[in-house]
Structure formats: C-alpha cells, structure tokens
Amino acid sequence: MRRWAAAAGSVALIVLAGCSSASSSSATGTPKPAPSATTSAAPSAAITGATEQAIATDWEQFFAGSTPADRKVTLLQNGSQFAPVIQAQASGIGASAGAKVTAVQVTGPTTANVAYDVLLGGQTALGGQHGTAVLENGIWKVGTGSFCSLLALEQQTPPGCPGPSASAS
C-alpha cells in the first residue's frame, strides 16, 4: 500500500508539474459552443459527438505539458482561484506529462464524465482515472473536483479543494 501511495504521489507531482508548464505554445483553442436546445428531447448524434470531442480536446490540452499556465487556468473550472497552484507546479519534467481521454459521457447540458489515463513520456503512468468536465462560458473545463483529486494524491489541499474526508469528482 505504501508503494502504491508513493508511486501515486510521484505521478501526481509529475502530472501537476505538467499542468503548469510555462513553455510557450501556439495552443490557443477556441471556446466550444454548448449544444443548442432543439425541439427534440435528445441531442443529435452529431452534436453529441462534437461535444465529446470538444471535451476530450480541452481536457487533454489542460494536462499537456506544452500548454502555457495561463491557458491551463482558462481550462480549469474556477481556474483563476487555482492559478498560484498551477504556476507553482511548473517544472521541466512537466513537458513530458499529459492525459489521454479514453471515454466521455455527456451527462447534461453543462456536465460530462471523463475517463482518462495520466501519461508520462507518452506512456500510461496512472490509468483508469475518472473525472468531470463542466461547460463554463462556452469552454469545456476540467472540473475542480477532478483537479483537487490529483492534488490530493500529492497530499495538497489548496483553498477551493475539499478537505481529505470529502469526495472529489
């Protein structure tokens, strides 16, 4: 158990370093429109597919080591609140961190569940992770709870994250 905790903590440190790489990149991403309401009760497959792709793209961009910290702040729910954490995690090793979205399930007009693997050097370092994405101001963002769960692996609980006894999504 201690080995797993140490490994998870190391992976979290590396992933979080990747969450705030200060390298410059041309990744500018554009806000994604929310699916529009129609007279149909269910969104079309094209809208759902486009929404799932937008979520996966923004999620992977947030975790990419090459994404600048200021862009990561815009891709995180309540990102400005976490800007100091994102910037403090900057590290050269972060350039090799990332995430690969394996599944997206849209659960509502502004929410989705995301299954993903944490990558290091292009290889899976922590597989089978689950989180939430939220739509804010036309951008699909990594949910605060998902980010806080990774911080918890590093035994960090910054302001805005629930305490150790709370469940984060």
Query: Could you tell me whether strands 111-120 and 123-136 are parallel, antiparallel, or unpaired per DSSP bridges?
Result: antiparallel
| Structural fold of domain 2-24+44-153 | Nuclear Transport Factor 2; Chain: A, (3.10.450)
pLDDT cut 70: percent of the chain above it? 65
Whole-number Å distance between alpha carbons of 61 and 58: 5
What is the pLDDT, as a whole number, of residue 140?
A: 97
Long-range contacts of 146-150 (CB under 8 A, 24+ apart): 146/114, 147/19, 147/76, 147/77, 147/82, 150/12, 150/15, 150/16, 150/118
| pLDDT, tens digit, 9 for 90 and up, residues 99-111 | 999 999 999 999 9
| pLDDT, tens digit, 9 for 90 and up, residues 71-90 | 999 999 999 999 998 887 76
- Tokens 């699909």 found at: 140
Contact (CB, 8 A) for 12 and 129: no
| pLDDT, tens digit, 9 for 90 and up, residues 120-168 | 889 999 999 999 999 999 999 999 999 999 888 888 888 888 875 444 4
CA nearest 111: which of 55, 73, 151? Answer: 55
